[in-house]
Amino acid sequence: MNFSRFISAISKARMPSPIREATALVASAPPSLISLGGGMPNPGTFPFESIQIKAKDGNQFTLQGKDLSKALQYCDSSGIPELRAWLMSLHKKFHSPPLLQEDNLGICVTSGSQDGLLKAFEMLLSPGDNVIIEDQVYSGTLAILKPLPVNLLGVEVDGKGMKPDSLLKVLSKWDPEDALDPNSDIPKVLYTIPNGGNPTGATATEERKRKIYEIAQRYDLVIIEDDPYFFLQYQKTTAPSYQFLDVDGRVIRTDSMSKILSSGLRLGWISGAKPFMERIVLHQQASVMHCSTLSQVLAVKLLNMWQMEGFERHLNSIQTFYESQRDHAISSATRWLTGLAEWNVPKGGMFLWIRVPRVADTYEMIMRKALEKEVVIIPGGCFSVSNDVPSSYCRISYSTSTPEVLEEGIRRLSDVIREEIG
C-alpha cells in the first residue's frame, strides 16, 4: 500500500523535534546516562508531595517519590511505554489486528479520541479533497471538518451501520483506477463510527464491515474507525473491528478511556500502520507535545492493579449499567412515543435516535417548545452533513438520568410532539 499517497503536504513537511527526541531517549535510558540536553523543569520545584487514589472496588495507591516525579514530568510524545504496552495488549485481545502480527501497528496516546481524530484528518486531508462520511454523524467531527476546504460526501446509515449500496452510489462517479491518478479528485478517506454511533446508536454488522472494507480496498480508501463506544456494546458476541479485517494498513483507529475510566482524564489513543502513526506523533510533538503524563500514570497504576481480568470485570459492570439505561429509555419511549415517533433499539452506546415522521424539521420544536417544557434534547439537524437539509430526527441521551427522570423527560417530549402536530 502506498502510504505516501494519503499524507497531506502539511504532514509531509513536519520534521522530528530534536528536543522531543531527546525526551524520549532520556525516558528509556539507563541510569548511567548524563542528560544535559532537555529542558525539563526540576521536579524538586513542584509543590506536590503525594497523590492518593482510591478506587470504588477498594483498590488504592499513592503516587510519591520517583513515581510522582514521573507523573508530573514531560514524557515521550507517543505516550509512556507502560501505557502503550497495555494498549497493545488490549488490541491483541480485542482486535487481533494483522498489522500487530507483522509488527507494523503503531499507537500514540492522545488527549481523548477526538484529539487523535483531528490529527488524523490533518494528516490525510488536503484542500479540495472529497471526504466520505456518515450522513448523520458526531457533531464534534463536523466541527473539525466543516471549516476545512474539503467536500463532505454523506453516506446513508441505518440500524446496521453504513450502507454499502449508498457508499457505492457516492463513489459511482469515479472508477477504481482513478486512485492511480495523482490528479484525480477521487476520495481517499472514509470516516465511520461503527459501534453505538453518535447520534444514531447504530452498530455495524460483520457483513456490513466486510463489504465496506472490500469497497475501501477496491477504491483505495483509508478508513478512519472512530470507536469510542467499542467497550459499551451490550452483546457478549460482537462484530470484529475494521482493524481486525485490515490486511493492508488502511484502517486508522481511534479509541477512548472517556466512557470507561473518566472523561476528565482526557485519555485516548490512535492506532494504525506505523507510517501513519509516525506522522501523527510528529503532529503531537508540534501541538500538545504529549497527553497528560499524570493521566497516563494513573491509568497504568489502576490497570496494573486490575490486570486484564479486573479490567474485563469493570467493563462488564459498565456494559450492564448502560444496557439497563437503554432498556429504561426504550420502555419509556414505547409507553409515551408509540404512534408519534420511530426508533431502532441500540446495541451499544448512550443514544436513542428518534424520528418524528409528521414533523419535517425538529429544530424549532426542540429548541423552543421542548425547552419551554424544560427538557433538553438535541435536534437531528445538528448532526447533518448539509446545513440546509431539514431533519425529522432528534437525539436522546440516556447515560446520566435516573429511570424516573428519563421517563419524565420522554413524557414531556411526547407532549411537545402532540402540540406540534396538533
Q: Phi and psi for 108 in degrees, rounded to 5? A: -130, 125
Q: Phi and psi for 104 in degrees, rounded to 5? A: -120, 15
Q: Is the pLDDT reported for residue 323 higher than 80?
A: yes
Mean pLDDT over each residue of the chain, to the nearest integer: 94
**Helix, strand or coil, per DSSP, at residue 130:** strand
Q: Do 3-304 and 315-421 have matching folds?
A: no
Question: Residue 20's pLDDT is what?
Answer: 59
Q: Please give the model's pTM, rounded to 2 decimal places.
A: 0.94
Residues 48, 155: Cα–Cα separation, whole Å: 51
Question: Residue 33's pLDDT is what?
Answer: 77
pLDDT tens, 233-289?
998 889 999 999 999 999 999 999 999 999 999 999 999 999 999 999 999 999 999
What are the grid coordinates assigned to 267, written together?
Answer: 485519555
CA dihedral 176, 178, 179, 182 (to 10 degrees): 180
pLDDT tens, 96-127?
999 998 899 999 999 999 999 999 999 999 99
Question: Residue 37's pLDDT is what?
Answer: 67
Domain range 3-304, its CATH number among 3.90.260.10, 3.40.640.10, 3.40.309.10, 3.40.50.9100: 3.40.640.10
User: Within 13 A of 383's CA, how many CA atoms are on the CB side?
Assistant: 27
Band of residue 23 on the pLDDT scale cut at 50, 70, 90: low
Question: Residue 366's pLDDT is what?
Answer: 96
Question: Residue 40's pLDDT is what?
Answer: 84
More confident residue, 314 or 40: 314
Domain ranges of the chain: 3-304, 315-421
Mean pLDDT of 47-51: 95
Q: Is the pLDDT reported for residue 340 higher than 90?
A: yes
HEC readout, 48-108: CCEEEEECCCCCEEEEEHHHHHHHCCCCCCCCCHHHHHHHHHHHHHHCCCHHHHCCCEEEE
Superfamily of chain region 315-421:
Aspartate Aminotransferase, domain 1 (3.90.1150.10)
Residues 319, 188: Cα–Cα separation, whole Å: 35
Question: Residue 27's pLDDT is what?
Answer: 64
